[in-house]
Copies of this chain bind each other. A is one copy, B any other.
Amino acid sequence: MMNISNALENLVDEFSRLPQIGRKTALRLAMYITRQPAEDVERFSRALSEVKARIRFCSVCCNITEDEVCMICRSGSRKGNQICVVEEPQDVFAIEKTNEYKGKYHVLHGIISPLDGIGPNDIRIKELLARLGSNNGDNVEELILALNPTVEGETTILYLSKLLKPLDLKITRIARGIPVGSDLEFADEVTLAKAFEGRILI
């Protein structure tokens, strides 16, 4: 950028720190910002500060919220006896969109990945244990593991199912199979095998 402007250089640096934003895109975004009205840029700048000031983790399910306890955990209309365990808050949004699940959630904020040095203590597993343990106030009966069907997801499922076995809960995992609208002939063999394994009576 030929030392045109330190301010611009800094903003390009900041944009390029975002995930999946390269130098070229960062420059394009920074240039876009220079063309916007000052009040719009101020609003963006404030939105950044505020999200950091306001967002915290629900003390029960660890999902993001602006309150001590999140809306789903507080809601009287959600079944407390089911907990769906997910990796990230985005997974909660995705599941909520289906309008099918009426239980509660637990957000791990990560997944066990020995290759990346992420072990059970680096994700919110002890918070999950606390919910299920002595003060199982919700009388949790079923734990639905809705983790991604990747190596890390499988590792985490294996770890959790062993860890929680003594608690005498129903532990389930969501089905692996052919995505709706996709074509069977394009499915990989593992997915297809799992789809057969998980076949249901019609």
Q: Which residue numbers of A lie inside 8 Å of B, CB to CB?
A: 1-8, 10-11, 13-14, 17-20, 25, 27-34, 36, 38, 40-55, 63-66, 70-71, 88-90, 93, 96
B71-A2 in contact (CB<8A): yes
* A46 contact set on B, CB distance < 8 A: 45
Q: How far is the CA of A177 from the CA of B189 in the complex (A)?
A: 46
22 contacts between A and B (CB under 8 A): A3-B71, A4-B63, A4-B66, A4-B70, A4-B89, A5-B55, A6-B54, A7-B53, A7-B55, A10-B51, A11-B51, A17-B44, A18-B32, A27-B93, A28-B90, A31-B88, A33-B48, A33-B51, A34-B51, A38-B52, A38-B53, A45-B45
* A20 contact set on B, CB distance < 8 A: 25
In-complex Cβ contact of A45 among B4, B17, B48 (8 A): B48
**Distance in Å from the Cβ of A59 to the closest Cβ of chain B?**
15
B48-A11 in contact (CB<8A): yes
* A17 contact set on B, CB distance < 8 A: 40, 44
Candidate in A6, A11, A48, A55 with the most chain B CB atoms within 10 angstroms: A48
Dominant SS among interface residues on chain A: helix
Q: How many copies does the complex hold?
A: 2
B49-A42 in contact (CB<8A): yes
B50-A10 in contact (CB<8A): yes
In-complex Cβ contact of A64 among B5, B32, B54, B64 (8 A): B5
* A48 contact set on B, CB distance < 8 A: 11, 14, 33, 41, 44-45, 48
Q: How far is the CA of A19 from the CA of B42 in the complex (A)?
A: 18
* A88 contact set on B, CB distance < 8 A: 31
